[in-house]
Each structure stands twice: as C-alpha cells, then as structure tokens.
Amino acid sequence: MIATIGEFVECESPSDNPAAVNRFVELVSDTVSPFAAVRTFPGGSFGKHVVCEMKLPGKKKSGRILTLGHSDTVWTSGTLRSMPFRKSNGRLYGPGIYDMKAGIVFFLFAARALRDLEIQVSSHVLLQLNSDEEVGSDSSRALTEKNAARSHAVLVLEPGTGLSGKLKTARKGVGSFTVVVRGRASHAGLDYQSGASAIVELARQIERIAFLTQVRRGITVNPGVINGGTRSNVVAAEARVEVDMRVLRQRDALTLEKKLRALRPFDKRCSIEISGGLNRPPMERSAGTVRLFHLARKLAAELGVAAEESLSGGGSDGNFTAALGVPTLDGLGAVGEGAHAINENILIDRMADRTALLAKLLAAI
Ligand SMILES: [Zn+2]
C-alpha cells in the first residue's frame, strides 16, 4: 500500500493542470482496470472525471453504492521538489497524500481484499473520482448527482477529522458572494460634496454583513477580501467585498441570501449589486447518514477501533449527494493532518483499519 500511495503522490495532479490530472487518472485506471470497467467523462477545462464499475464477488446484486473521491490536489506541479514523498516517524508525507490520494488507495485495496477473500457484496459498487473538487466541482457536479441519485448510499474517501480520524456526518454548506457598491467620483479637495464615496458606503454595509454571523447556529459570514477606490484624493466611485458564507442548514442559506439581497444603501446616491450564491449545499446530518454512521461504528468496533463522528466546516462532493437525500458518510479516507499545508501527512498505522472498514462497509450495505 505504501508503494502504491508513493506512486500516486509522485504523479502530481493540480486542479488547474488537466494534462497532469489526466496522467493521474490514467495511473488509477491502469491500477483498477483488472477488476473494474472504467469510463472517463470530459471535465471541460479540467481533467477527466473517471467512473469505475467495480467487479466484486456476489451473485445477486441489487442497488448501488457510490464511492466518491477526487483526483485533483491543491499543489502546483513541481511541489514534489520541495515536498517529496517520504516516510518518517510512522507517517507518510507528500502533496495530496492526505487530501486524498491515500483514500483512493485504501478503496482500491479494500476492493482487492473483497476479491481475494471472496467476500460477498450485495450492492453494485461505483468509484467516481472528480478532477475539479478543490476548485468547486462545477464540471463534475452533474455527474456526481446523477450517480448519487441512482445509489442507496454514498461513501466519501475524504480524510477523517483530527488525529483520531473521526468520520464526517455533517458538513457546512458554502456560499460565496461579491457585493459591489457604486458611488460617485469627485475631487476630494475641489468638489468633495458632489461625490458619494463607495468606500464609506461599503464600510457601513460590511458591518451589516458581518453581523449576519450566528456562531452558535453554525452560521458564519466572513467579508474576506475588500478593494475599492483609485487614489486618496478621489472620492471613491466603486468598492467591493468578497464574502464567504457557511451554514449548517439549507433554510439558513435561503434566509441569509435574502438578507444579503435586501441590503439597501445608506447614502441614496450609491447603489449596491450582489452576485454569487451557494456553491455547495450543507450536508445535513440526516437519519439515513446517522444509520450509515452507526453501521460503520459497529464494523469499526469489530476491528477494535472506536469510530466517532464529526461536523466539518469545509465542503466536499458529499454535500451534493447528501442534499439529494442520499445517505452519505464522509471522512472515510486517511487519518493524518495538514490538508493543504506543507506538513500534509498520514498515519501509517491507521492505513489497515481504514481499508478494512471500507471493505466491511462495502460488504454490509
Ligand atoms: Zn479533498
């Protein structure tokens, strides 16, 4: 497994380099093709998405399990030079190892174990790897939703939470908005009063926007980037803010969006334009997802591992599948730390039990 993980990590696949992602997709396809029917789908300006119909033991299969992952990473090509794949103190390091190439390898070895041990599987099993997850999944979303709608469970190979590898039963929904204020430019000295400052107006609006946050309800609204104006001696004609919004509940997203769109200027000479929306709906902790988690907890206990659940503030493709009402269990991939960070690593001694848990889930669902 370590050798395969090394091979996968050393085949770099940044989201914005479709040729590199396609090379990685080919590597995965070659690895899986002896025991799967592999199909690729165009990813627009990104690499190809790949769907593998696994050939697993079991005579009478009904229903389908969708296993979801992504082939892209946040690391640019050449990162390996400063962040090589390496093993140290019981951990494996390298770009994209934790998020989420190790998770893909766990799944492939789980499938192999089911075949080698001739363990009967009662559902059809699909593996889908998207090429654009780290940049919002615009080109893969429809494919994910199509395959999820035909499945009775979705297992997501994203890493678990923290160094105990908690599974993820809920994820916040993520929205991004741009608020543009247009005022009226004038000379700050000669003609101050005929100007209407977009910056002053925006500053007042930002206070309203930031106060939409309700931490205890799981709502955060973060004005993350501002810009505007041209020179200090000009009353600013335009200013804008980019806002990140996170919610636990779909209905909160609707309410918040309504409140944002209802912003009216304090200074009537200014105008406000809002664009954007929810990129990923929240993955709510549904009864179906809780049932999947309870099953995983029971199967993990058979392996001598205590599985716990967690809520993640970040989104994944599991948000889309859960929003369709399909029971979705996320965070089944690697245990480690440092996603998107230079110390990205996984724990070697948790590779076997995570792989076994995946195999047991595929057989039990
Ligand atoms: Zn990921």
At 210-234, the pLDDT tens digits run 999 999 999 999 999 999 999 999 9
236-264: b (≥16 Cβ within 10 Å) or e: bbbbbbebbbbbbbeebbeebbeebeeee
Count CB-CB contacts under 10 A for residue 51.
Answer: 19
| Distance, CA of 27 to CA of 52 (rounded, Å) | 13
| Both tokens assigned to 198 | 């977009």
Contact yes or no for 350/161 (Cβ under 8 A): no
Tokens found for residue 334: 């690697």
Question: Minimal CA–CA distance to 144: which of 219, 41, 54?
Answer: 41
CA-based R_g, the chain, Å: 23
Which residue in this structure is represented by tokens 């709510």?
Answer: 284
Express as a percent the part of the chain with pLDDT over 70.
100
Tokens of 102: 């190790």
Distance 197 CA to ligand 1 centre (A): 42
Confidence of residue 284 (pLDDT cuts 50, 70, 90): very high
Query: At 302, is the secondary structure helix, strand, or coil?
Result: helix
Surface-to-core class of residue 267, CB atoms within 10 Å of its CB (0-12 exposed, 13-18 middle, 19+ buried):
middle
CA of 269 to the centre of ligand 1 (A): 45
User: What would the pLDDT profile of 146-191 be if each residue is shown by its tens digit?
Assistant: 999 999 999 999 999 999 999 999 999 999 999 999 999 999 999 9
If you measure from the C-alpha of residue 293 to the centroid of ligand 1, how many angstroms do you get, rounded to a whole number?
20
**Distance from residue 71's CA to the centre of ligand 1 (Å):** 9
CA 323 to CA 235: how far, in whole Å? 45
Alpha carbon of 158 to ligand 1 centroid (Å): 5
229 CA to centre of ligand 1 in angstroms: 37
Peptide bond into 245 cis (omega under 30): no
What's the DSSP call for residue 192? G
pLDDT tens by residue, 87-134: 999 999 999 999 999 999 999 999 999 999 999 999 999 999 999 999
Q: How many CB atoms lie within 10 A of CB 362?
A: 25
Contacts of 84 (CB under 8 A, 6+ apart): 93, 94
In which band, very low, low, confident or very high, does the pLDDT at 292 lie, cut at 50, 70 and 90? very high
- The model's confidence at residue 345, banded by pLDDT at 50, 70 and 90, is very high
Helices 2-9 & 18-32 angle (0-180, nearest 10): 160
Mean pLDDT of 330-353: 97
Distance 6 CA to ligand 1 centre (A): 18
Cα 131 to ligand 1 centre (Å)? 11
Supply the pLDDT for residue 92. 98
> Which positions ≥6 away from 209 have C-beta within 8 Å?
179, 221, 223, 241, 243, 260, 263
Burial label for 337, CB within 10 Å (0-12, 13-18, 19+), is middle
Residue whose entry in the numeric block shows the structure tokens 């390091």: 93
Any idea how long the chain is? 365
CA of 83 to the centre of ligand 1 (A): 18
- Tokens 């001694």 — which residue? 349
pLDDT at res. 32: 97
Structure tokens at 27: 């590597």
